[in-house]
Amino acid sequence: AQSVTQLDSHVSVSEGTPVLLRCNYSSSYSPSLFWYVQHPNKGLQLLLKYTSAATLVKGINGFEAEFKKSETSFHLTKPSAHMSDAAEYFCVVTQQWFGNEKLTFGTGTRLTIIP
């Protein structure tokens, strides 16, 4: 069975300061990992994905994440927070079989940006 643990349910940072959202995963084989973002009353938007290529993955809106197998982590970072980054962020691990897949979501981290 696969799972992800998001270590912080709520993170607050000041505008212009770095963002760190933490995620640890558990998987019996090499996982594919994603970060999705959910703005209020909107759907889930893919930020970035890791699928066993480069361990440092760059996504949209200046976000990036580093896959660290030794630490079973996939933390999301951004050098400088913007007000528009305020949202809920989900770390996701996939289970894939014969071309199909199922996403397993973490519990989410709500990011608040302080002006």
Partner 1 sequence: EPEVTQTPSHQVTQMGQEVILRCVPISNHLYFYWYRQILGQKVEFLVSFYNNEISEKSEIFDDQFSVERPDGSNFTLKIRSTKLEDSAMYFCASRYRGEQPQHFGDGTRLSIL
Under the rule (CB under 8 A), what is the footprint of partner 1? 32, 34, 36, 41-46, 49, 51, 90, 99-108
Nearer to partner 1, 51 or 72 (CB): 51
Nearer to partner 1, 13 or 89 (CB): 89
DSSP state of 31: P
At closest approach, how far in Å is the CB of 46 from partner 1? Answer: 5
At closest approach, how far in Å is the CB of 14 from partner 1? Answer: 26
CA angle 22, 23, 28 (to 5 degrees): 160
78: left (phi > 0), else alpha (psi -120 to 50), else beta?
A: beta
Nearer to partner 1, 35 or 73 (CB): 35
Q: How many residues in total does the chain contain?
A: 115
CB 47 within 8 A of CB 35: yes
